[in-house]
Amino acid sequence: MNKRPDGRNPEDLRPIKIEVGVIQRADGSAYIEWGQNKIYAAVYGPKECLPKHIGNPYRAVVTYNYRMATFSVPERKNPKPGRREIEISKVSGEALERAIFTEKFPNTEIEIDVEVIDSNAGTRVAALTAAAVALADAGIPMRDLISAVGIGKANGQLVVDLNKEEEDAEDAVDIPFAIMPNTEEIVLLQMDGLLTKEEWKILCEMGIKAAKQVYEIQKQALKSKYFVEEL
């Protein structure tokens, strides 16, 4: 086992800090710092579906907008959302929808907006982690939170929570991964790179363990809005 470029052990997460209720006008909101990643998440709804035809008579429609600020990456990003942001928005929204009791709010929309203002690999899992907290803060009925983490491979080693340097490694494999922590159901899973079945088996275990650590931080953040002294 080798130390990683930033001195972490393979199973170590970068420092994570979550604050709840940071966007005053939103129904629920959260801010997350995850390593160098900094992300705001806000929730509006359930609200009337506009335009009406996007509504579903049996459940709420979940809209997730993942966006990156122009200055959040080394080379200035075009302010127009790209294909990457649209894809991430789709899979992340679907992940959250699994946890929400959407059937309680037919014909309505639940809108989740996340904005990445600084980034260093793993923004989509950090955003999803913050969004789940924002949803709970909005009082949206849910089966569970969603806890997310990146897992993968870098420099010949299986690791959790890759940073940018690791993501850029020759043999890098990056797997955005999210679960409902109480049932361990996987709700987000993507991958690109070369990975063996054995490696995945190990990584999945590492991912669940890491996601549960993320969950504890989410839980503390939500509860500390009401009982600071418990911290």
Partner 1 sequence: MNEIIWDLIKDKTIDELKKGIREDGRSLDQYRPIKIEYGITKNADGSASVKLGNTFVLAGVKFGLGEPYPDSPNEGAISVGTELLAMASPSFDVGPPDENAIELARVVDRGIRESKAIDFNSLCIREGELVWIIYLDLYVLNDDGNLFDASALAALSALKNSKFPKMENDKIVLKESTNIPLNLKRLPILNTFTKVEDLLLVDASLKEEKASDGRFSVCVTEDGFMTAFQKGGIGSFKKDEIDRCIDLAFKNAELLRKLL
Partner 2 sequence: MRKLVIPGELVSDNSKKAGQHVFVRDGKLYSDCIGLVNESYDSISVIPLEGPYIPNINDIVIGIIEQELFAGYVVNINSFYSGFIPKKNIDFFAKVGDLVSVKIASVNEVNEVDLDSPRILEDGELLEISPVKIPRVIGKEGSMLNILKKGTGCNILVGRNGRIWIKGGDVKLAFRLIKFIESQAHTENLTDRVTKIIEEAKNQSSNVLGE
Q: What share of the chain is helix, strand, coil (3-state, %, to 5)?
A: 30, 30, 35
Q: What is the DSSP letter of 120?
A: S
Q: Which of residues 161-180 bind partner 2 (CB under 8 A)?
A: 180
Site string for partner 1, 120-139 (x = CB under 8 A): x-------------------
Distance CA 109, CA 31 (A): 22
The nearest distance, CB 33 to partner 1, in angstroms, is 10
- CB atoms closer than 10 angstroms to residue 19: 16
Report the residue from 46, 62, 72, 140 that binds partner 1 according to the rule CB under 8 A: 72
> Among partner 2, partner 1, none, what does residue 229 contact (CB within 5–8 Å per kind)?
none
Task: Tell me: does residue 222 bind partner 2 (CB under 8 A).
Answer: yes
Q: What is the DSSP letter of 138?
A: T
Q: What is the DSSP letter of 112?
A: E
| Residue (of 104, 114, 188, 189) closest to 143 by Cα position | 104
Phi, psi of 13, rounded to the nearest 5 degrees: -85, 155
Distance CA 91, CA 63 (A): 11
Q: Which of residues 34-63 bind partner 1 (CB under 8 A)?
A: 36, 38, 40-42, 44, 47
First to last CA, the chain: 34
Question: Token pair for residue 154?
Answer: 């870098």
> Among partner 1, partner 2, none, what does residue 96 contact (CB within 5–8 Å per kind)?
none
Report the residue from 36, 65, 107, 157 that binds partner 2 according to the rule CB under 8 A: 107
Task: Tell me: does residue 9 bind partner 2 (CB under 8 A).
Answer: no
Report the residue from 97, 109, 111, 161 that binds partner 1 according to the rule CB under 8 A: 111
Task: Tell me: does residue 113 bind partner 1 (CB under 8 A).
Answer: yes
Task: Tell me: does residue 54 bind partner 2 (CB under 8 A).
Answer: no
The nearest distance, CB 153 to partner 2, in angstroms, is 30
Distance CA 80, CA 95 (A): 24
* For partner 1, the closer CB: 64 or 177: 64
Give the footprint of partner 2 on this chain (CB under 8 A).
27-28, 45-48, 57, 99, 101, 104-108, 136-145, 180-183, 218-219, 222-223, 226-227
